[in-house]
Amino acid sequence: MITSKKITIPPTFKIAYSKPTYAREWTRYGVQAKAPEYLLQIAAGSDDVIAATHGGVTEIYVRKSAVAA
């Protein structure tokens, strides 16, 4: 997981979920094939998922072509 004040996401990625650090529920953007907990687990070893925390908000980004997989 990337932790920084600002992150630049490549144009081939889109935001899938976000959650403030104090919240329990994830905000979903669009229809997602995978649960946020699963995406967080595979983010460390996958080039198709990026998890980043900045400004007290955790965001999960997925590669646009990998969303349906």
Distance CA 8, CA 48 (A): 15
| Segments forming the whole domain that contains residue 36 | 26-63
Number of domains in the chain: 1
pLDDT at 33 over 90: no
Q: Is residue 21 part of a domain?
A: no
Residue 18 falls inside a structural domain: no
Quote the pLDDT of residue 2: 54
**Tell me, what's the pLDDT at 69?**
44
Question: Is residue 16 one of the residues assigned to a domain?
Answer: no
Q: 44 falls in which pLDDT band (50, 70, 90)?
A: confident
Query: How confident is the model at residue 39, as a pLDDT?
Result: 94
pLDDT value at 13 more than 50: yes
pTM value surpassing 0.75: yes
Q: What are phi and psi of 26, to 5 degrees?
A: -85, 145
